[in-house]
Amino acid sequence: MNREEALALVKPHLTDHRYTHTVGVTDTAIKLAKRYGANSKQAELAGIFHDYAKFRNKEEMRTLVKGKLTNNILILEYSSELLHAPCGAYYVENEIGIKDEEILNAIRYHTTGRVGMTLLEKVIFLADYIEPGRDFKGVDEVRELATIDLDKAIIQMLVNTISFLMKRQQQVFPTTIETYNDFIKKQK
Ligand code: DGI
Ligand code: FE
Ligand code: FE
Ligand code: FE
């Protein structure tokens, strides 16, 4: 599947704003892949499809988690924003037909990360945060770090995200904390 075919498949599932974000993530992921030695074709497809399920019906996704994705059952106790990542991986495999487990994992873990992330997973995780359309507080510092050190950039991204959630007194999913701890441990 080439870029244009993939973009045409994802577009009907997204708003214009989310489609622009998707193209931004894709191009950022390709750049990060080239900089850090990941496969840029995998980065391209993972970027294009990472938010495939962003606007899927939440009840449909909760039912999917309770049925076929019971490994992810804990997310039902947290923000409904977490559903689109594992459910997206499932839909991309079954509706789009992508079978590359590395691409599917990059989609699956793009919101929370996980312990022991692969290079491709890191590339998508970070690209989602720093793509040019993002305007989070502190994003420029992460963009700067991203040119120098992938793991350091991800640590700063996680500090920002976890702090953001905590300042708003929102729940933080345990995997997000575990991901942060895993990166910190590996820095030492
Ligand atoms: O889908 P995007 O908006 O492009 O970005 P994303 O997939 O990283 O989703 C981020 C959303 O998830 C954001 O609104 C914050 C929310 N969220 C809720 N709980 C958690 C969380 N994000 C992380 N990383 N960890 C959480 O525990
Ligand atoms: Fe997302
Ligand atoms: Fe993200
Ligand atoms: Fe995204």
Distance 111 CA to ligand 2 centre (A): 6
Q: Which pair of tokens denotes residue 84?
A: 């689109």
Please tell me whether residue 42 adopts helix, strand or coil conformation: helix
Q: The pTM is what?
A: 0.97
Domain extents in the chain:
3-136
From CA 82, how far away is CA 109, in angstroms rounded?
10
Q: Is the CB of 111 under 6 A from ligand 1?
A: yes
> Which pLDDT tens digits describe the chain residue by residue (188 residues)?
999 999 999 999 999 999 999 999 999 999 999 999 999 999 999 999 999 999 999 999 999 999 999 999 999 999 999 999 999 999 999 999 999 999 999 999 999 999 999 999 999 999 999 999 999 999 999 999 999 999 999 999 999 999 999 999 999 999 999 999 999 999 97
Closest listed ligand to the CA of 179? 1
Smallest CA-to-CA distance from 35 within 147, 121, 139 is with 147
Pocket test for ligand 1, best of 111, 167, 173 (most atoms within 8 A of CB): 111
> Is ipTM > 0.85 here?
yes
From CA 61, how far away is CA 90, in angstroms rounded?
10
Give Cβ neighbours of residue 9 (< 8 Å, ≥ 6 apart): 1, 96
Q: Which CATH number fits domain 3-136: 3.40.50.80, 1.10.10.60, 2.60.120.380, 1.10.3210.10?
A: 1.10.3210.10
From CA 21, how far away is CA 100, in angstroms rounded?
23
For tokens 């575990």, what's the residue? 178
Nearest residue CA, atom 8 of ligand 1? 111
Q: Is the CB of 128 under 6 A from ligand 1?
A: yes
Distance 111 CA to ligand 1 centre (A): 5
Nearest residue CA, atom 18 of ligand 1? 79
Distance 128 CA to ligand 4 centre (A): 5
Q: Is the CB of 108 under 6 A from ligand 1?
A: no
